[in-house]
Amino acid sequence: MLDWLDPVKGFGVTFTTMFKKVPTVEYPEVKAPTMPRFHGRHQLNRWPDGLEKCIGCELCAWACPADAIYVEGGDNTEEERYSPGERYGRVYQINYLRCILCGLCIEACPTRALTMTNEYELADDDRESLIYTKEQLLAPLLPGMEAPPHPMRLGDTEEEYYRMGREQPEAAVSGASADKDSEAAR
């Protein structure tokens, strides 16, 4: 009886869709932030005075299920110090063609040197440039940080250093003031 109305009903669906909100993301122009705990590119963190947190223990490389991490440790000397303590990561490479961004290396890291960022735009046309070296992975120097090698600024002994490093807010510490603080504390 009212069969002739069916096409009109069909267009009704089309018509109402025009007033619905579009779910499409506008990706390259508007980059929606990821979830806060998204597993993106890695980052090698620093202490507030700029020394590296990585001690070259290779636990991340051992934890990696895809064998994507390559670490070579080196010895710190008094003249050339990259991290507090005895050892530092001299060579640190992550092969993003192998890395499955699972985060097991982050769990394995004893000094919280390795964490993940929310950066995900990693595509490249070259296999070699997807092996990220230490310079690419290291966190940028925040104000107050000084590029290593330099002596420990947050305390003379290691224990003191670690305690000061934890108490100071990360961005606000400068090398000189940290030295004064440690003297005052003594």
Partner 1 sequence: MGLEEKLPSGFLLTTVEQVVGFVRKSSMWPATFGLACCAIEMMSAGGPRFDIARFGMERFSATPRQADLMIVAGRVSQKMAPVLRQIYDQMAEPKWVIAMGVCASSGGMFNNYAIVQGVDHIVPVDIYLPGCPPRPEMLLDAVLKLHDKVQNTKLGAHREREIEEIEQRKLRTLPLVQRTEGVTP
List phi, psi (to 5°) of 92: -140, 115
Q: Which residue number, 134 or 150, has a Cβ lying nearer to partner 1?
A: 134
Q: Which of 57, 101, 108, 139 binds partner 1 (CB under 8 A)?
A: 101
| Nearest distance in Å: CB 122, partner 1 | 5
By CB under 8 A, residue 27 contacts partner 1: yes
Cβ neighbourhood burial of 165 (10 Å; 0-12, 13-18, 19+): buried
Q: Is 99 annotated as a binding residue?
A: yes
β-bridge partners, 94:
69, 132
Stretch that binds partner 1, among 4-12, 105-113, 131-139, 175-183 (CB under 8 A): 131-139
120 binds partner 1 (CB under 8 A): yes
According to the annotation, is 113 in a ligand binding site?
no
Applying CB under 8 A, the span of 3-11, 55-63, 127-135, 159-167 interacting with partner 1 comes to 127-135
Nearer to partner 1, 6 or 121 (CB): 121
At residue 106, the 3 state secondary structure works out as: helix
93 and 132 Cβ atoms separated by less than 8 Å: yes
For residue 149, whether the previous peptide bond is cis, meaning omega lies within 30 degrees of 0, is yes
Grouping H, G, I as helix, E, B as strand and the rest as coil, residue 32 is coil
Q: Is 135 in the site for partner 1 (CB under 8 A)?
A: yes
Phi, psi for 98 (deg, rounded to 5) = -105, -30
Taking the complex as a whole, the smallest distance from the CB of residue 114 to partner 1 amounts, in Å, to 15
- Residue 174 burial (CB count, 10 A): 16
**Element (H or E) spanning 104, and its range?**
helix 104-108
> Considering only residues 54-93, where is the footprint of partner 1 by CB under 8 A?
65-67, 74, 80, 90-93
Out of 133, 156, 170, 177, point to the residue binding partner 1 (CB under 8 A). 133
Residues that bind partner 1 (CB under 8 A): 23-25, 27-28, 31, 65-67, 74, 80, 90-93, 95-102, 120-128, 130-131, 133-135
